[in-house]
Chain A
Amino acid sequence: MATEAEEIRGIGHRVRRKEDDRFIRGAGNYIDDIHLPGMLHMAILRSPFAHAKINSVDGSRAQELEGVIAVVTGELMAQHNLAWMPTLSGDTEAVLATDKVRFQGQEVAAVIATDPYIAKDALELIDVDYDPLGVVINPEQAAAADAPLIRDEKEGQADNHIYHWESGDKEATDAAFAQADRVVSLDTFYPRSHPSPLETCGCLADVNPATGQATIYMTSQAPQLIRTVFALVAGLPEEKIRIVSPDIGGGFGNKVPVYPGYVVATAASLLLGHPVKWIEDRTENLISTGFARDFWMHGEVALKEDGTMTGLRVSLDADEGAFYADAQPSKFKVGLFHIVSGSYDLPAAHVVADGYYTNKAPGGVAYRCSFRVTEASYMIERLVQNAAYEIGMDPADFRKKNFIEKDQFPYKSATGFEYDSGDYHGAMELALEKVGYEQLRKEQAEAREQGRLIGIGLASFTEVVGAGPHKDYDILGIKMNDGAELRVHPTGKAHLKISSQTQGQGHETTFAQIVAEELGIQPEDIKVTHGDSDDTPYGLGTYASRSTPTVGAATAMVSRKLADKARKLAAHLLEVSEEDVELAKGRFTVKGAPDKAVTIQDVAFAAYTNFPDGMEAGLEGVAYYDPPNLTFPFGTYAVVVEVDADTGQWKVNRMVAVDDCGVRINPMVVEGQIHGGLCEGFGIAAMEQITFDEEGNCIGANFLDYLLPTAWETPRFELGETVTPSPHHPIGAKGVGESATVGSPAAFVNAVIDALWPLGVRNIDMPLTSAKVWEAIQAAKAGAAAG
Chain B
Amino acid sequence: MEITVKVNGADRTADVEPRMLLAHLIREQFGLTGTHMGCDTTSCGACTVLLDGKPVKSCTVFGVQADGREVTTVEGLMQDGQLHPIQAAFKEEHGLQCGFCTPGMMLTGSVLLAEHPNPTDEQVRWAISGQICRCTGYMNIVNAIQAAGRTMSESKQDAEASVA
Contact = CB atoms under 8 A, between A and B. Distances in A.
Contacts of B46: 198
Contacts of A708: 44, 132, 134
B38 to A, nearest CB: 5
B94 A672 contact: yes
B138 interface: yes
A714 B99 contact: no
B130 A710 contact: yes
Interface stretch (A204-212, A397-405, A458-466, A675-683): A675-683
Given A17-B94, A281-B40, A714-B125, 8 more contacts: A24-B102, A30-B36, A197-B100, A249-B98, A672-B97, A675-B140, A704-B41, A711-B138
Contacts of B113: none
Residue among A23, A200, A704 with the most chain B CB within 10 A?
A23
Contacts of B96: 20, 23-24
A712 B129 contact: yes
10 tightest CB-CB pairs across the interface, nearest first?
Answer: A26-B34, A504-B98, A23-B99, A249-B100, A679-B137, A26-B74, A675-B137, A703-B43, A504-B97, A33-B33
22 contacts: A23-B102, A25-B74, A32-B36, A197-B98, A198-B36, A198-B98, A198-B101, A252-B134, A282-B40, A504-B98, A504-B135, A669-B94, A676-B136, A676-B137, A702-B39, A703-B41, A704-B41, A710-B131, A711-B124, A711-B131, A711-B138, A716-B139
Interface in B10-53: 17, 19-20, 27, 32-41, 43-44, 46
A390 interface: no
Contacts of A671: 94
Interface in A680-732: 680, 702-704, 708, 710-712, 714, 716-717
A711 B135 contact: no
A710 B38 contact: no
A247 B99 contact: yes
Nearest to B31: A35
B140 A711 contact: no
Contacts of A22: 99
B129 to A, nearest CB: 4
A200 B74 contact: no
Interface in B104-137: 106, 121, 124-126, 128-137
A198 B136 contact: no
Contacts of A30: 33, 36, 100
Contacts of B19: 117
A510 B120 CA distance: 32
A247 B102 CA distance: 14
Contacts, number: 170
A315 interface: no
Contacts of A503: 98
A256 B38 CA distance: 19
Interface in B75-105: 75, 77-78, 83, 87-88, 90-92, 94, 96-103
A86 interface: no
Interface string A158-174: 00000000000000000
A200 B132 CA distance: 14
B71 interface: no
Given A28-B34, A199-B100, A704 B43 contact: yes
Contacts of A775: none
Contact of B97 (A117, A281, A506): A506
Nearest to B133: A198
B146 interface: no
Contacts of A281: 40
Interface string A237-280: 00000000001111010000000000000000000000000000
Contacts of B37: 32
Contacts of B87: 24-25
A668 interface: yes
B66 interface: no
B34 A196 contact: no
Interface in B123-161: 124-126, 128-142
Contacts of B36: 30, 32, 198-199, 249
Nearest to B100: A249
Contact of B100 (A250, A673, A712): A250
A556 to B, nearest CB: 23
A283 interface: yes
Interface residues of B, number: 57
Contacts of B129: 710-712
A16 interface: yes
Residue among A25, A30, A716 with the most chain B CB within 10 A?
A25
A198 B83 CA distance: 25
Contacts of B90: 20, 24
A25 B34 contact: yes
B58 interface: no
Nearest to B86: A24
A710 B98 contact: no
Contacts of B34: 25-28
A89 B134 CA distance: 28
A717 B128 contact: no
B77 to A, nearest CB: 8
Nearest to A283: B40
B49 to A, nearest CB: 10
A588 to B, nearest CB: 34
Nearest to B128: A711
Contacts of B32: 26
A505 interface: yes
A21 interface: yes
Contacts of A20: 90-91, 96, 99
Contact of B125 (A27, A248, A676, A712): A712
Nearest to A683: B134
B40 A702 contact: yes
Contacts of B132: 198, 703, 708, 710
Given A199-B100, A710-B131, A16 B91 contact: yes
A250 B134 CA distance: 7
Residue among B92, B106, B137 with the most chain A CB within 10 A?
B137
Nearest to A677: B137
Contacts of B73: 26
B134 A714 contact: no
A547 to B, nearest CB: 14
Nearest to A18: B91
A25 B75 contact: yes
Residue among B83, B128, B132 with the most chain A CB within 10 A?
B132
Contacts of B40: 281-283, 702-703
A252 B100 CA distance: 14
A26 B100 CA distance: 9
Given A24-B96, A198-B100, A679 B138 contact: yes
Residue among B19, B74, B131, B138 with the most chain A CB within 10 A?
B138
A198 B139 contact: no
B126 to A, nearest CB: 6
